[in-house]
Amino acid sequence: MAYDKFNILTSTAVPLPIENVDTDQIIPARFLKATERVGFGDNLFRDWRYNPDNTPKKDFVLNNPVYSGKILVGGKNFGSGSSREHAAWAVYDYGFRAVVSSFFADIFKNNCLNIGVLPVQVSPEFAEKIFAAIFADPKAELEINLPTQTITLLSTGEKETFDISAYKKDNMINGFDDIDYLQSIKGEIEEFAANLPL
Amino acid sequence: MVRKIEGGPDVLFIDRHLIHEVTSPVAFLGLKSRDIGVLYPNRTFATADHNTPTINQHLPVADPLSANQLQALETNSKEYGISHWGLGHQKNGIVHVVGPEYGITQPGATIVCGDSHTSTHGAFGAIAFGIGTSEVEMVLSTQCIMQPKPKKMRINVNGKLGKGVTPKDVALFIISQLTTSGATGYFVEYAGDVFENMSMEGRMTVCNLSIEMGARGGMIAPDETTINYVKGREFSPKGEAWDKALAYYKTLKTDADAVFDKELTFDGSKIEPMITYGTNPGMGMGISQDIPDAAHVEGGAATYEKSLNYMGFSEGEHMIGKKVDFVFVGSCTNGRIEDFRAFTSLVKGKHKADDVTVWLVPGSHIVESQIKEEGLLDILTEAGFVLRQPGCSACLAMNDDKVPAGKYAVSTSNRNFEGRQGPGSRTMLASPLVAAAAAVTGKVTDPRTLIEELV
């Protein structure tokens, strides 16, 4: 299923400078009972965002109107824990199209790439600069340029390049996904399966 | 490997695909919206586990959302011709417990499941790892996923384990040394005499927890222990096919000159029974130690303090003696027969502490039957414990087995994240022996002080 095409994203960003943000925080298990991919954004960071009586927690960044944008900037080791793609769905459904961190957990990163959310891994130093810039001015914008693989802090012009495989980059720019690709080589897969030794 | 993509991932053929009710429904919806089918339905196996109640499994599931998800798994499996082991089925149980029990897990096989603890199956020398729902859809429709080649790490643990030190302690120790992200990007091989001398159940516990240090998978080279376990199971090869398979399994040993991107070695005799004090599995320590200062911990002090605040603990405190409200024994980490043998060996002749709620949840019906047949249930009943029915249960609290806000649980499961066992719950991860010591004392207790002859 083709997803949104990603080319250049220019946006303000929401800072979450906490390390080891796990997928149970991004979307708690009790919200995984849906059988369709709808409504996960409402429960993004549910227990950090709301009190048990469902009133918003004022000190959590998503409840602070000063911060907004299509980019989420997280602390080191973002997305650790469970393989639930629901975490990536929640990030997407809330309105984020890219997540920036100095380090991502593997499965979360992969899940993001599979649904068209761009994970941008930057150096710890650059991550610090981004956090500082946003805290100094919540209107500070980031530009994420996928074709050139660069992320730029527009207020200062400082930029860094990021890694992505040529295959995934092409997929994201064109809005293709892996199933489209795998379907296209199905004959080859069937031949492989027919010749398995065991 | 079917194909290598230039500048991209490999196309990896998947021998065995396990599915459960939580991460599969949207994948099946995807098949429908693309109007494609399941390529090899006999390579996928479905079991219900995450949502299932652990009492009164013969009754309809009360929670309508859970019931709906369980129904979706059944309907989808039926529609596409996939074996379905739903609630009430004799083979139903936790996906990573029943897979090996029925011989679906085979050495050298590629095994995936929409669950991060799929690393469990690496205990058999399988290449096994967790995937997301988009990948579940890929495997259903093409039996392949796209996977970049991971880096390789070897972790050696040698030496004689001390009294009361179990495979869980070895794993929690390793994770405490590497941190929760120390193996991200790696596939880990566990080597050394500690693992060679371990049972398959113990190896599964260790490999299961590989993801808790960020590794996509963990594995142990197959040996006689592995082959003895696999032989004769329902889905294991039989007759000539077994001879052929056996010859193949014997080729799976790691080459003596294999090169790893990273290699670590630990002394097994220095490992204590472990317990976690924070909100990720890397925040663990020997049970007799004191909670470390932020200054001695890698990473940001702010995150560390947030974690201790959540737990209601302070730097420098002892863990021993802390109040325990709940004890959970079960999960894909420690829900196997050995875990219940260990728990029972400690509580035998003692009694459950009055102010502790204890959930003993076997990983499968086979484990449940073994507990009864081996006479463990009689000992447990005598000591005031009740055995529940199989499922994931309080490990992630998707069913009714939830630890209330602010309460403390000693849990044999795999994650102590904030709210993992219920909103506001506080989890201390430990072995079945540490869980048993807490169950009979109501406090964090060093199991080595409770009995002389430990397993």
User: Given this model, what pLDDT does residue B183 score?
Assistant: 97
Assess contact for A105 and B184: CB atoms under 8 A.
Answer: yes
In which residue are the tokens 């995984």 written? Answer: A32
Q: How many residues are present in chain B?
A: 455
CB count within 10 Å of CB B230 equals 23
Nearest CA in chain A to B114: A83
* Chain A environment of B143 (Cβ under 8 Å): 189, 193
What's the pLDDT tens digit per position in A100-133? 999 999 999 999 999 999 999 999 999 999 999 9
The whole-number pLDDT of residue B298 equals: 72
Please give the helix or strand (H or E) that residue A153 lies within, else none: strand A150-153
B280 touching A, CB under 8 A? Answer: yes
C-alpha to C-alpha distance for B45 and B105, rounded to whole angstroms: 11
Question: Could you tell me the CA-to-CA distances from A113 to A142, A165, B25, B62, B290 in Å, in that order?
Answer: 20, 11, 20, 36, 41
Residue B222 CB neighbour total at 10 angstroms? 23
Cβ pair B291, B277 in contact under 8 A? yes
The fold for domain B320-449 equals Aconitase; domain 3 (3.30.499)
Do the chains contact at B11 and A182, CB–CB below 8 Å?
Answer: yes
* pLDDT value of residue B256: 85
Neighbours of B10 (CB within 10 A): 16
What gap in Å lies between CA B322 and CA A77, rounded to an integer?
30
pLDDT given for residue A2 in this prediction:
57
With respect to CATH, is domain A9-164 assigned 3.20.19.10? yes
Question: Does residue A1 sit at the B interface (CB-CB below 8 Å)?
Answer: yes
pLDDT at A117: 96
Q: Do domains B3-147 and B320-449 have the same CATH topology?
A: yes
Pick one of 3.30.499.10, 3.40.50.300, 3.40.710.10, 3.30.70.20 as the CATH number of B3-147.
3.30.499.10
Residue extents of the structural domains in chain A:
9-164
Q: How close B28 gets to chain A, by Cα (Å)? A: 10
ipTM comes to 0.94
Instruction: Quote the minimal CA–CA distance from B242 to chain A in Å.
Output: 10
Q: Give the distance from residue A88's alpha carbon to the nearest chain B alpha carbon, in angstroms.
A: 10
Measured in degrees and rounded to the nearest 5, phi and psi for residue B244 equal -65, -45
Residues 6+ apart with CB under 8 A from A115: A3, A85, A88, A89, A92, B134
Shortest CB distance from B396 goes to which of A29, A76, A86? A29
For residue A168, list chain B residues with Cβ-Cβ distance below 8 A. 8-9
Q: Which of A104, A73, A28, A146 is nearest to B405 (CA)?
A: A28
| CA proximity to B425, closest of B455, B405, B445 | B405
> Which residue of A36, A85, A128, A149 to mutate against B (max B Cβ within 10 Å)?
A85
Residue A3 has pLDDT above 90, yes or no: no
Chain A touched by B2 (CB under 8 Å):
yes
pLDDT of residue B254: 85
Tell whether the model's pLDDT for residue A11 goes beyond 90: yes
Interface test with A, best of B116, B136, B140, B279 (most A CBs within 10 A): B116
State the Cα–Cα distance between residues B195 and B171, nearest whole angstrom.
Answer: 11
Q: Does the CB of B216 have a partner CB in chain A at under 8 Å?
A: yes
- Half-sphere exposure of A195 toward its Cβ, with a 13 Å CA cutoff? 8
In this prediction, residue A4 carries a pLDDT of 83
Which residues are CB-neighbours of B159 under 8 A, at least 6 positions away? B193, B194, B267, B268, B269, B270
pLDDT score, position B301:
87
Taking the C-alpha atoms of residue A29 and residue A27, their distance in angstroms, rounded to an integer, is: 6
pTM confidence score: 0.96
Task: Show which of residues 349-378 on chain B sit within 8 Å of chain A, judged by CB atoms.
Answer: none
Q: B93, B100 in Cβ contact below 8 A?
A: no
- How far away is chain A from the Cα of B243, in angstroms, using its nearest Cα? 11
Low-confidence stretches of chain B (pLDDT < 50) are 455
CA distance B427 to B413: 9
| B381/B285 Cα distance (integer angstroms) | 32
pLDDT for B5 equals 85
The angle, 0 to 180 degrees and rounded to 10, between the axes of the packed helices A106-115 and B133-142 is 70
CB pairs under 8 A between A and B: 199
Give residue limits of the domains in chain B.
3-147, 320-449
CB proximity B306 to A under 8 Å:
yes
